Chain A
Amino acid sequence: MEYLAHVLVMVCLYGILATSFNLLIGFGGIFALAHATFYASGAYAAGILATKLGIGFPFTMLAGIVVTAAIGLLVAFPAMRVGSHYLVVITLALQAITIDVLMNSKPVTGGPDGIGGIPPVSLFGTALNNPVAFLPLAAVMAALCCAVAWRLGASPFGRSLRAMRENEAAALAVGKNLVRMKLVVFALSAGLASVAGSLVAHYIAFVNPESFTIEETILILAMVILGGMGNLWGSLAGAAILVLLPEGLKFVHVPGDIADMVRQVIYGVVLIVILRLRPEGLFPETVFRPPTGAVLPTVPANGPASTLVRAEGTPGEVVVSAKALAKNFGGIKAVKDLTIDLRRGQIVGLIGPNGAGKTTAFNLLSGFLRPTSGTILYRGRDLTVLKPHEVVAAGLARSFQDLKLFTKLSVAENILVSLPKQPGDRLFDVYLRPGRVRWAERENLARALEIASFVGLLAKADEVAANLSYAEEKLLVIARLLATGADVLLLDEPLSGLDTGTVERICGVLRDLARANKAICIIEHNLEVIRGVCDEIVFIDEGRVLTKGPPETLMRDRELAERYFG
């Protein structure tokens, strides 16, 4: 009985660790390998506070959460500056330092010997000093932690996380503040892991550095991968399996220290085998599709242009005015002198040969690149030094030539995630004002479906973006752009590679947008199309504006014809 209870307690603790790790790597796509550090921080916080200061259980845990969340924030900062391999090295380094600190800060951490004699949790006057007594507490805490993780995963914030995982640039371009999101998910994931730490400290009554090495992180990682990335239930299952699997060793007579190593070998082998046979894990990623069924009947198919929110201001008024933009990459001047005005209700075509600096111009205007010199004004407000998500919030959004859809999200989710100012993107509202989040989510879903209807994707609302045809993908790009609520839209080759029918359809959409008083700029090569939709053409070559004017005038220009069309 004691033995069974002990095993179940361990399942609960590792369940907490695996689900919290999954939030970070499965949902956020942030590959930080330092989970044992967060676990250690919770455990040592409990150990130190309980033995040195005589503080009791719930408070040791709360303090641990705060400290560990702070450490999580600390890790998140370098993590935001670097990706992929660098992040792995940085977090690995953190793992190494953790052991250094635990081993060397003897007066506080007890060094290699660790901290012993941590008093058990005492609830309602009973000391939970044996596995059977401890199990209910472990189970309740595990359930709580999983609920917290689940709530986040299922919330609009979770959707934004998954969008960020699918494509960071696109998440930025629809106005997500990736810095904030990464900080939040790091802190939360770390905080949850520390709960397991404080529990284990009070349960085993002893902590030492050996329990928190890189192997521990790999073990938790194995649990997440085994259960399936992005599936929280899977993480629980993974934790259960990997805790139970080596228990079989108990029935064979293996000396204690060797048994530990054999266990590690088993974990490693399981990890490799599962990656080979079923890299997606036992359970597929959880699908959090919004309940489109309830809203669909109320949305008219092929929604009229009247669903568009009309931008304020008088038609023809200059909204965006970029002056003398220049951008150098080392010695290369990608953009030398770009001056461009975008007006309400007008479509500007940005044309020029390959390498002329068209996409760089978009990157500058949308905040993805900071110009070396020059200014960008949006209705008199200086956007020049703003970050991409701030530019979107100000009212200017862009699309990408290579689309950058959130491929694993549905059409509805792609649009939904792009809607601005969602209460569900704020942690405070997610946990403390669920009603408000639910209400906003319903409104937003209706709005997202209206937009889907307007671009003609309503029938595909529940389809995963990866399954769309190329034409549908291009439509979804426009829908996502519309969803940001921006009134200045930059579209990078919205029409390339499409059949005439779809080109006509998208041209119609663009004209509708102009009629709704939005300022539009497109990069395009198809001159027929440009003649058809653009009010003005800006011709750039070698990073500067050569000439601009109405399509008819420019297309009669001799020199231009030679440089570009000839």
Chain B
Amino acid sequence: MDLLIQLTLNGLFNGAHFALLAMGFALIFGTTGVVHFAYGPVYAVGAYVVWALVALAGLPFWVAVGLGVAATAALGVASYLFIYRPFEIGGSPPFVVLVASLGLFIVIKNLIGIVFGTDVKTVDVAYDVHFVGNAFFTTVQVGQVLAALLVGGGIALFLRTSRYGKAIRAMADNREMATVIGIDTTRLSILVFALGSAVSAVAGALVLLRDGLNPNMGFGAVFVAFVAVIVGGVGSLRGAVVAGFLLAFVQSLGMWQIPTEWQNTIVFVVLFGFLLARPSGIVRRA
């Protein structure tokens, strides 16, 4: 029973992490159609910046997070402006942009390794451990859930009420029509790349506290985010969040019987099942 509670808790906390990652990716992919593989390494860069600011520059954690989020947003925008946008202007087919993103993926990932080294990075920030019976969780994990709620709520509000948010939804729905009615899609693309990357940096900062960092962390992140977006239904932010939690719960409860190392395999099984049974995802677009 204790184990079950622990696994459920883990699913919840990890789900918050996945949901954050999926939200950022869904914003970018759903709006611009760019399969932004480098999302993973960009997220990792955000986490490394936070680490450097705390561990090397000695800044307080929250200040570091703010700067890290800003830096990540800037890197996301830069990857759009300097890598993806020239292809869009040239009218390249989607797969060319996808391959370019793979190129960017290995460039950033390996640059992280060259600059920061390949050892695991951690910071000394104290946090509490709480107990529910014999099961436990940490303040960091509570932070993950809060972050997911705040960021998710904020984005939902932004998309629903603000002028830019509505324009983003219009663009996600039909880019051509959006252009026709005078929406500046370039500006919006910059905005969603900034926003999506910033969201990922929040997730990255919390993972720094929870697990520490290594240069490979980006692949798992973009993989989970991508799968959540597909399982949730492309174009649906809500679906991506739900799918993020779903993946985490399945993974976590799967560990009841299956050894931890098979996490990716569990995710794959979920993905596979969904593609076969419900190819349009959890949330169907109207």
Kindly state the separation between the CA atoms of A85 and B35 in the bound complex, as whole angstroms. 8
Kindly state the separation between the CA atoms of A275 and B96 in the bound complex, as whole angstroms. 7
The answer to whether A275 touches B227, judged by C-beta atoms less than 8 angstroms apart, is: no
- Taking each of A82, A213, A222, A264, which has the highest tally of chain B beta carbons within 10 Å of its own beta carbon? A264
- The answer to the question of B245 belonging to the interface, with a C-beta cut-off of 8 Å to chain A, is no
Shortest CB–CB separation between residue B37 and chain A, in angstroms?
A: 9
- The answer to the question of A225 belonging to the interface, with a C-beta cut-off of 8 Å to chain B, is yes
Kindly state the separation between the CA atoms of A258 and B114 in the bound complex, as whole angstroms. 6
Instruction: Mark A483-502 against chain B: 1 for CB-CB distance below 8 A, else 0.
Output: 00000000000000000000
Q: Which residues from chain A contact B114 at a C-beta distance below 8 Å?
A: 258, 261-262, 265
Q: Which residues from chain B contact A103 at a C-beta distance below 8 Å?
A: 261
Q: Which parts of A259-278 form the interface with B (CB within 8 Å)?
A: 261-262, 264-265, 267-272, 275-276
- The answer to the question of A78 belonging to the interface, with a C-beta cut-off of 8 Å to chain B, is yes
Kindly state the separation between the CA atoms of A218 and B103 in the bound complex, as whole angstroms. 7
- The answer to the question of A364 belonging to the interface, with a C-beta cut-off of 8 Å to chain B, is no
The answer to whether A96 touches B94, judged by C-beta atoms less than 8 angstroms apart, is: no
The answer to whether B264 touches A93, judged by C-beta atoms less than 8 angstroms apart, is: yes
The answer to whether B276 touches A271, judged by C-beta atoms less than 8 angstroms apart, is: no
- The answer to the question of B60 belonging to the interface, with a C-beta cut-off of 8 Å to chain A, is no
Kindly state the separation between the CA atoms of A222 and B271 in the bound complex, as whole angstroms. 27
Contact A275-B99, Cβ < 8 Å, known A96-B223, A261-B113, A265-B114:
yes
Shortest CB–CB separation between residue A27 and chain B, in angstroms?
A: 15
- The answer to the question of A214 belonging to the interface, with a C-beta cut-off of 8 Å to chain B, is yes
Measured CB to CB, the nearest residue on chain B to A261 is B110
Kindly state the separation between the CA atoms of A85 and B265 in the bound complex, as whole angstroms. 19
Q: Which residues from chain B contact A82 at a C-beta distance below 8 Å?
A: 275, 279
The answer to whether B262 touches A104, judged by C-beta atoms less than 8 angstroms apart, is: yes
- The answer to the question of A89 belonging to the interface, with a C-beta cut-off of 8 Å to chain B, is yes
Kindly state the separation between the CA atoms of A269 and B111 in the bound complex, as whole angstroms. 12
Contact A96-B106, Cβ < 8 Å, known A85-B230, A103-B261, A261-B114:
no
The answer to whether A269 touches B103, judged by C-beta atoms less than 8 angstroms apart, is: yes
Measured CB to CB, the nearest residue on chain A to B83 is A272
The answer to whether A276 touches B259, judged by C-beta atoms less than 8 angstroms apart, is: no
- The answer to the question of B63 belonging to the interface, with a C-beta cut-off of 8 Å to chain A, is no
Instruction: Mark A420-441 against chain B: 1 for CB-CB distance below 8 A, else 0.
Output: 0000000000000000000000
The answer to whether B234 touches A85, judged by C-beta atoms less than 8 angstroms apart, is: yes
Instruction: Mark B81-95 against chain A: 1 for CB-CB distance below 8 A, else 0.
Output: 001001100001011
Contact A100-B230, Cβ < 8 Å, known A31-B95, A81-B276, A268-B106:
no
Contact A215-B226, Cβ < 8 Å, known A225-B99, A258-B114:
no
The answer to whether B271 touches A268, judged by C-beta atoms less than 8 angstroms apart, is: no
Kindly state the separation between the CA atoms of A82 and B111 in the bound complex, as whole angstroms. 34
Shortest CB–CB separation between residue A62 and chain B, in angstroms?
A: 28
- Taking each of A78, A257, A268, A271, which has the highest tally of chain B beta carbons within 10 Å of its own beta carbon? A268
The answer to whether B272 touches A90, judged by C-beta atoms less than 8 angstroms apart, is: yes
Total interface residues in chain B, CB < 8 Å: 43
- The answer to the question of A88 belonging to the interface, with a C-beta cut-off of 8 Å to chain B, is yes
Q: Which secondary structure characterizes the binding site on chain A?
A: helix
Shortest CB–CB separation between residue B225 and chain A, in angstroms?
A: 11
Q: Which residues from chain A contact B109 at a C-beta distance below 8 Å?
A: 215, 264
Measured CB to CB, the nearest residue on chain B to A275 is B100
- The answer to the question of A86 belonging to the interface, with a C-beta cut-off of 8 Å to chain B, is yes
Kindly state the separation between the CA atoms of A103 and B261 in the bound complex, as whole angstroms. 8
The answer to whether B35 touches A88, judged by C-beta atoms less than 8 angstroms apart, is: yes
The answer to whether B102 touches A221, judged by C-beta atoms less than 8 angstroms apart, is: yes
Q: Which residues from chain B contact A93 at a C-beta distance below 8 Å?
A: 223, 227, 264, 267-268, 271-272
- The answer to the question of A287 belonging to the interface, with a C-beta cut-off of 8 Å to chain B, is no
Q: Which residues from chain A contact B118 at a C-beta distance below 8 Å?
A: 257
Measured CB to CB, the nearest residue on chain B to A264 is B110
- The answer to the question of A94 belonging to the interface, with a C-beta cut-off of 8 Å to chain B, is yes
Contact A275-B223, Cβ < 8 Å, known A81-B279, A85-B234, A97-B268:
no
The answer to whether B103 touches A92, judged by C-beta atoms less than 8 angstroms apart, is: no
- The answer to the question of B107 belonging to the interface, with a C-beta cut-off of 8 Å to chain A, is yes
The answer to whether A271 touches B275, judged by C-beta atoms less than 8 angstroms apart, is: no
Contact A94-B261, Cβ < 8 Å, known A78-B275, A261-B110:
no
Contact A265-B106, Cβ < 8 Å, known A81-B279, A92-B226, A275-B100:
yes
Shortest CB–CB separation between residue B82 and chain A, in angstroms?
A: 10
Measured CB to CB, the nearest residue on chain B to A258 is B114
Q: Which residues from chain A contact B279 at a C-beta distance below 8 Å?
A: 81-82, 86
Contact A88-B98, Cβ < 8 Å, known A261-B110, A271-B103:
yes
Contact A89-B83, Cβ < 8 Å, known A100-B261, A222-B103:
no
Shortest CB–CB separation between residue A259 and chain B, in angstroms?
A: 10
The answer to whether B272 touches A100, judged by C-beta atoms less than 8 angstroms apart, is: no
Shortest CB–CB separation between residue A99 and chain B, in angstroms?
A: 8
- The answer to the question of A51 belonging to the interface, with a C-beta cut-off of 8 Å to chain B, is no
10 smallest A-B Cβ distances: which pairs?
A268-B107, A271-B103, A261-B110, A268-B106, A96-B264, A264-B110, A272-B103, A93-B268, A104-B261, A268-B103
What are 16 A-B residue pairs whose CB atoms fall within 8 Å in the complex? A33-B102, A78-B272, A82-B279, A84-B94, A86-B275, A90-B275, A93-B268, A104-B259, A225-B99, A264-B106, A265-B110, A268-B103, A268-B106, A271-B99, A272-B104, A275-B100
Q: Which residues of A contact B (CB under 8 A)?
A: 31, 33, 78, 81-82, 84-86, 88-90, 92-94, 96-97, 99-101, 103-104, 213-215, 218, 221-222, 225, 257-258, 261-262, 264-265, 267-272, 275-276, 279
Q: Which residues of B contact A (CB under 8 A)?
A: 35, 83, 86-87, 92, 94-96, 98-100, 102-107, 109-111, 113-114, 118, 219-220, 223, 226-227, 230, 234, 259, 261-265, 267-268, 271-272, 275-276, 279
